Amino acid sequence: MSALFEPITLRSLTVPNRLWMAPMCQYSAAPEGPAEGAPGDWHFQHLAARAVGGTGLILTEATAVSPEGRISPYDLGLWNDTQTEAFRRITAFLKAQGTVPGIQIAHAGRKASTERGWVNRGGPILPGQRYGWEPVGPSPVPFGEGFATPAELSVAQIGEIVAQFAATARRALAAGFEVAEIHGAHGYLINEFLSPFTNRRTDEYGGSYENRTRFALQIVDAVREVWPEELPVFFRISATDWLAEDESDEREGWTADDTVRFARDLKEHGIDLLDTSTGGNAPDAKIATGPGYQVPFAERVKKEAGLAVGAVGLITEARQAEKIIADGQADAVLLGRELLRSPSFAQHAARELGAEIALPSQYHRAA
């Protein structure tokens, strides 16, 4: 039996295999009008194809809790009834294929109001420009050259965003999702609060580790309160800003040690799996990439914090993914670019590893 194709149960939810789809922005939602932020035909085919291909769990792209929380004006959102209804078509199809539908809920923070990834390299759309708005953050620290300086959030505004995460989680449940993932990675708002590199506050949301993690834990508590006890909640984290990993860089950032400590806190607050990525907060950080380069961060959390983990990052081959699971480095692997290239990667991997995988009846000739 292939370890990669063994089911995994989180709370009362069983996922048929350990090969999952990571959230990937498609920048294909309407930026205005009645369908603003709602998934359309592109999103349906994008997610449905990977479900037909045998992927065990699929996470949507970062789905914003408010219009201002989008990375770009073309991102998905889940703050109104139109969006909720549009997602139902997708979740129903994924479930019919035996795939677990999950949603990543997010706020972009200081990295909001940008172009689509293939336009101007995803550069900023400044306030006053068409579709542009003023980004927000824990502190008035812009993401990089040419980006707008974010407005520092007040304590009252922080509370409003916590409530928005809970409201989006309620809508996600109504839309048919079975997993909610809180996006705390890649330099977006929650990550900005966690890291001393971007959090320069002196109030109860800045300074100490306890203060910098307060916002994230309040969001976790708010989501967990509205999410069913029997269904899991994930948290995506950047395990390091890649600043402390570079001895020549004296800037203070979020570290792997912080992640292990925080994983223990997340477990106590009801998080069921840590989706472990890295980077995205310091645009000029030196990142040592290579096949499976982020897996050791996941493995450390699993071993030292006792929390289930997902591993990501240049996982491109079936035997590579199999070894990660079989060696106990992670509980699941989440593929991104490789699933863009090969929507039926799970079917190919099962054949290579000698595992059985359910195929749609329409594809019986491929069995």
Within-domain flag for 363: no
> What is the average per-residue pLDDT within 104-132?
95
**Are the C-beta atoms of residues 310 and 274 closer than 8 Å to each other?**
yes
Whole-angstrom distance, CA of residue 69 vs CA of residue 113: 9
Within-domain flag for 366: no
Mean pLDDT (the chain) is 96
Residue 169 has pLDDT above 80, yes or no: yes
* Among candidate residues 205, 222, 194, the one with its CA nearest the CA of residue 152: 205
Phi/psi zone of residue 190: left (φ > 0), alpha (ψ -120 to 50 degrees), beta? alpha
- Which structural domain range is residue 186 located in? 3-357
Confidence of residue 1 (pLDDT cuts 50, 70, 90): confident
Return the residue matching tokens 């993932």: 181
Going from the C-alpha of 239 to that of each of 53, 152, 253, 300, the distances in angstroms are 30, 24, 11, 10
Residue 251 has pLDDT above 90, yes or no: no
Within-domain flag for 229: yes
Dump pLDDT digits (tens) for 284-336: 999 989 999 999 999 999 999 999 999 999 999 999 999 999 999 999 999 99
> What is the average per-residue pLDDT within 230-254?
89
Whole-angstrom distance, CA of residue 208 vs CA of residue 306: 24
- Rg of the chain taking only CA atoms, in angstroms: 19
Confidence of residue 358 (pLDDT cuts 50, 70, 90): confident
Residue 25 has pLDDT above 80, yes or no: yes
Say if residue 288 is exposed, middle or buried (CB neighbours under 10 Å; 0-12, 13-18, 19+).
Answer: exposed
Whole-angstrom distance, CA of residue 276 vs CA of residue 237: 5
Whole-angstrom distance, CA of residue 242 vs CA of residue 253: 8
Within-domain flag for 54: yes
Within-domain flag for 326: yes
Within-domain flag for 203: yes
Within-domain flag for 87: yes
Total domains in the chain come to: 1
Predicted confidence at residue 119, as pLDDT, reads 93
**CATH number of the domain to which 324 belongs:** 3.20.20.70
Dump pLDDT digits (tens) for 39-84: 999 999 999 999 999 999 999 999 999 999 999 999 999 999 999 9
| The model's pTM | 0.97
> What is the average per-residue pLDDT within 109-131?
95
Residue 245 has pLDDT above 80, yes or no: no
| Catalytic annotation, residues | 188
Within-domain flag for 365: no
Predicted confidence at residue 364, as pLDDT, reads 78
